[in-house]
Chains A and B, each alone.
Chain A
Amino acid sequence: MSVILVFLLVIAGFAGWWLSHQRLTAKPWLEQGLAGDFVGLDRSALPTAKIGLGVFLAVVGCLFSLFTSAYFMRMGLSDWRPLPLPRLLWLNTGVLVLSSIALQCAVVAARNGQIDMVRLGLATAGLTALAFLIGQLMAWRQMTDDGYLLSSNPANSFFYLITGMHGLHILGGLVGLGRTTVGAWNGARPERLRLGVELCAMYWHFLLLVWLAIFALLAGWAATFIDICRQLLT
């Protein structure tokens, strides 16, 4: 359970930092008047939707940290046989990176008010994300063709489970991306469009990060890395 504890420690650090800015040592019983005029005590200047997405990403991060924790605990048992990952996953990784880059371009374009570039960026991001999902399905197909079935070994089970869960999150993101894209074509208000694009980009970058982490995990590099760390510590 160490992975999830480390993740929660990061969250706790963030929460602690935020709380430390809320004048937790104030004596509210002695203060009358508009205390909200102290700088930074009111709501954050960030758009509410961004904070909402941030909280949601913390939950998603928690979910994948728990899968990772379970992976490491299950890996220690005797019947674990690591599986060779299909090379297609490298291509998929590249496609997902492209998707993120395209959205980042869309963000820049939205800030500069270039609506055409926004549309191009959104469309590219959507298509590449779709390509990623199809690529993942093809990778699953390759695995099953090679005889690595879901239930034949826990390493396989975790592979399908974790990649599937990540794919579902991308799929959910595509719904949001689709709505933003439709808005970009139907002439949504610029500030609204910009917020939508930024939210999509935030979600995409996060899921890319998650993908890189689970790719490292499934390929076995994460375990090797932890072993090295452990050796350094002892």
Chain B
Amino acid sequence: MVDITPADGIPPAEVAEVELYHPHSWWTKYVFSQDAKVIAIQYSATATGIGLVALVLSWLMRLQLGFPGTFDFITPEAYYQFITMHGMIMVIYLLTALFLGGFGNYLIPLMVGARDMVFPYVNMLSYWIYLLAVLVLVSSFFAPGGPTGAGWTLYPPQAIMSGTPGGQDWGIILMLSSLILFIIGFTMGGLNYVVTVLQGRTRGMTMMRLPLTVWGIFTATVMALLAFPALFVACVMMLLDRALGTSFFMPAISEMGEQLQHNGGSPILFQHLFWFFGHPEVYIVALPAFGIVSDLISTHARKNIFGYRMMVWAIVGIGALSFVVWAHHMYVSGMDPYFGFFFATTTLIIAVPTAIKVYNWVLTLWRGDIHLTVPMLFALAFIVTFVNGGLTGLFLGNVVVDVPLSDTMFVVAHFHMVMGVAPILVVFGAIYHWYPKVTGRMLDEMLGRFHFWVTFLGAYLIFFPMHYLGLMGVPRRYAELTDMTIMTESAHHLNSFISIMAFIVGFAQMVFLFNLIWSIRHGREAGGNPWRATTLEWQTPHTPPTHGNFGKDLPIVYRWPYDYSVPGAKEDFIPQNMPGTFGPSREPA
């Protein structure tokens, strides 16, 4: 080990004090709070609330698919509304908001050793605009005509025509307005996350000493800041098409024998803009998950992360590559074969850095002192699920395989595995891991294990059979599957089975919610560092951390975040802020 403490001793920490806003009333402390930790909890609670709506919507869809014709209130129109809102809520209002707004707000300042975000006021605004976006979204359920049923991709021309639910009513307008608000709010928060990582790091915390969680959230936020404008542009232009009769996306089209006033627009242009946002979005959700899972595995296997540098490079590499693959969502829209070849190639190349990460997680586990805690169980389940979903991605990345599979349940199975179940498993793992820091108490272990096994096995039983349905040719997006020759009796049975599993998994989430609420008061006292972890958030003087995070003096960082089981050290972990040199003396190669 090399001691790189300067010879003339440690200079005093000359980190400029952040001008902390000190709340004066209950309102400014808990409601209009500028404390990133409170904002994080507000973000998480709102995202969870709207996520529950999306969960119920998925149940309703499964009722229709599993038991067609049984439930009269699920008309085809209603089915399309459910599918649209489920997709949009889960991808944007739940996962993006939870990973970046929730975990980002809570963990970034604590992990980099800052007192708060650099622009706390803007950070507060970010949450309130997000809440407004959610309220506008929810209001569309009560608007005349109901929410939009255009599919979560909102493809024109159908999205704004009268045949689509909400197309000529309020639904699509509220959807687009809500997205525009979300993007404005997110940009405010995103600026904070990025600039706090750049400028808020405490003394000694170099970029290469950041926990991988921060690297993941940081890179994902940079991507989101650059990708969301594409969705913004698409939404504004579609809003003009719908409200003011422009023809950005709308071709000349007649509806029920009547010629509409639109003329000459390009639906493909919308698809380019949408997927220019949409593909990076996959990694905006995945990269924080990658980062968090690295920390969970290292901490609970009591072993340093394997290949830290490679992990960082892979995160950055995936982030950059994900901007040049968007058209693989558009193979079936028709394109020049050379373009298809280009996008298939870039898509498959992403498998390289992703595989590096998977190997490194597995190698971190190799001969580690694995503690099968609940967070670790979720982390392990993530690796399996992500590999599974990633492999089907290699199928779909090829044009010739994608074209026949694109409109089948195979795609539903693929993206739910890779960007639905996998990140959600990390969300759960992360909540079990950091809940003791947020509340000071542990979540109940037995309920946690129940929640884990039902969720993990159940999610597999839901989505794995969908691959087979897809290979049989069962189409996605169809509200009625009864009268098709493809739908054999066994396919029907499989569909009913999937629906029942969906209800069971959904029920397990209620157990989880109960655990979250019950443990606030009745959980076991956690102490400051129950997992014996090295990163700074576990070294705060108070648990839960108070406003300002670190008491009088900011911590000084002397080492990387993965000093677990260092030979010669007294304990099997060395906190990042512990001075001194440990381990066998070794020169860097």
Q: Is the CB of A70 within 8 A of B273?
A: yes
Q: Once the chains bind, are B194 and A150 in contact (CB under 8 Å)?
A: no
Please, could you name 6 A-B residue pairs with CB atoms under 8 Å apart, sorted by A?
A24-B207, A29-B308, A29-B562, A42-B206, A73-B266, A79-B247
Number of B interface residues at 8 Å Cβ cutoff, please give it.
71
A residues less than 8 Å from B558 (CB atoms): 32-34
CB contact between B199 and one of A23, A43, A150 (< 8 Å): that residue: A43
Q: Is B233 part of the contact surface with A, judged by Cβ < 8 Å?
A: yes
Given A23-B206, A43-B198, A66-B230, does the pair A4, B276 have CB atoms closer than 8 Å? yes
Task: Report A-chain residues with C-beta under 8 Å of the C-beta of B209.
Answer: 28, 35
Quick one: which of B6, B560, B579 contacts A31, CB cutoff 8 A? B560
Chain A hits for B563, CB < 8 A: 29
Asked if A15 is at the interface of the complex by the 8 Å CB criterion, the answer is yes
Q: What is the CA–CA distance of A48 and B16 in the complex, to the nearest angstrom?
A: 11
A-side interface size class: 35 or more
CB distance from B277 to the nearest CB of A (A): 9
The answer on a CB contact under 8 Å between B229 and A79 is: no
Neighbouring B residues of A142 by C-beta, 8 Å: none
Stretch of A49-57, A95-103, A206-214 lying at the B interface:
A49-57
Which residues of the other chain, B, contact A150 by a CB distance below 8 angstroms? 240, 244-246
Number of A-B contacts (CB under 8 A): 181
B363 sits at the interface (CB 8 A): no
Kindly identify, within residues 296 to 314 of chain B, every residue whose CB is under 8 Å from any CB belonging to chain A: 304, 308-309, 312-313
Contact: A1 with B272, CB < 8 Å?
yes
**A160 CA / B247 CA spacing, docked (Å):** 13
The one of B118, B200, B205, B247 in contact with A157, judged by C-beta atoms closer than 8 angstroms, is: B247
B355 to chain A, nearest CB (A): 20
Q: Does B256 interact with chain A (Cβ within 8 Å)?
A: no
Closest to A21 in B: B207
A37 at the binding interface (Cβ < 8 Å): yes
Contact with A along B184-202 (1 / 0, CB 8 A): 0001000100110011110
Q: How far is the CA of A12 from the CA of B324 in the complex (A)?
A: 12
Question: Are A48 and B118 neighbours in the complex by a CB distance under 8 Å?
Answer: yes
- Contacts beyond the supplied A1-B272, A32-B5, A36-B206: 10 A-B pairs with Cβ under 8 Å: A8-B226, A22-B206, A33-B5, A33-B581, A52-B118, A58-B225, A59-B187, A74-B265, A150-B246, A157-B247
The 0/1 profile, CB within 8 Å of A marked 1, for residues 224-243 of chain B is 01100110110011001000
Q: Is the CB of B226 within 8 A of A11?
A: yes
Given A22-B206, A34-B5, A48-B199, does the pair A29, B248 have CB atoms closer than 8 Å?
A: no
Q: Which of B195, B206, B276, B581 contacts A41 (CB 8 A)?
A: B206
CB distance from B573 to the nearest CB of A (A): 14
Do A154 and B265 form a contact, CB below 8 Å, given A51-B198, A70-B248? Answer: yes
- The interface centre, meaning the residue of A23, A24, A31 with most chain B CB atoms within 10 A of its CB, is A31
Q: Which residues of chain A come closer than 8 Å to B581, judged between CB atoms?
A: 32-33
Q: Are B248 and A63 in contact (CB under 8 A)?
A: no
A182 within 8 A of B: no
Is B10 a contact of A62 with CB atoms below 8 Å? no
Is B586 among interface residues, defined by CB-CB distance under 8 A? yes
A residues near B119, Cβ cutoff 8 Å: 52
Whether A15 and B222, one on each chain, are in contact in the complex, defined by CB atoms closer than 8 angstroms, is yes
- Contact check: which of B2, B199, B247, B316 meets A19 at CB < 8 Å? B316
Q: Is B335 an interface residue (CB 8 A)?
A: no
Q: Is B446 an interface residue (CB 8 A)?
A: no
Check if B559 sits within 8 Å of A59, measured CB to CB: no
- CB of B416 within 8 Å of the partner chain: no
Asked if A24 and B208 sit within 8 Å, CB to CB, the answer is yes
- The answer to whether A23 and B246 touch (CB under 8 A), given A34-B203, A56-B191, is no
- The verdict on A226 contacting chain B, using a C-beta distance below 8 Å, is no
What is the bound-complex CA distance between A177 and B586, given in angstroms? 56
> Does chain A have a CB within 8 A of B3?
yes
